[in-house]
């Protein structure tokens, strides 16, 4: 299973909302909403996967999106 679908699986398991998508340059962007502790666990669980490698990450706090109800793969 690739990064995007692993992210979806873990996020749904942890009751997070948001999305993940591939960018044209081959990188992946992910936006997740949830409690601080949940988001930390999510990030750690993603980094601990042995079938892909997170080379670099940038974490930003953004305004919550109250309309989001699930976690999904976004297609361009």
Q: Is 45 part of any domain?
A: yes
User: Two tokens at 43?
Assistant: 């990030």
What DSSP designation does 72 have? E
Name the residues annotated as catalytic. 4, 22
Confidence of residue 54 (pLDDT cuts 50, 70, 90): confident
Q: Is 48 part of any domain?
A: yes
* Mean model confidence pLDDT for the chain: 92
Sign of CA dihedral 28, 29, 33, 36: positive
Confidence of residue 22 (pLDDT cuts 50, 70, 90): very high
User: Two tokens at 62?
Assistant: 């953004």
**Phi, psi (rounded to 5 degrees) for 12:** -65, -40
Q: Is 66 part of any domain?
A: no
Q: In total, how many domains does the chain have? A: 1
pLDDT value at position 43?
94
The CA-based diameter of the chain, rounded to the nearest angstrom, is 33
pLDDT value at position 62?
86
Spatial distance between the Cα atoms of 43 and 60, rounded to a whole number of angstroms: 13
What is the span of the domain harbouring residue 45? 3-60
Q: Is 70 part of any domain?
A: no
**Phi, psi (rounded to 5 degrees) for 40:** -65, -45
pLDDT value at position 50?
87
């Amino acid at each position: 299973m690739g990064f995007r679908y692993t992210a979806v699986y873990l996020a749904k398991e942890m009751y997070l909302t948001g999305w993940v998508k591939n960018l044209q340059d081959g990188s992946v962007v992910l936006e997740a909403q949830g409690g601080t502790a949940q988001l930390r666990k999510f990030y750690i669980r993603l980094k601990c996967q042995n079938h892909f490698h997170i080379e670099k990450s940038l974490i930003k706090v953004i305004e919550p999106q109250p309309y989001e109800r699930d976690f999904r793969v976004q297609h361009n």
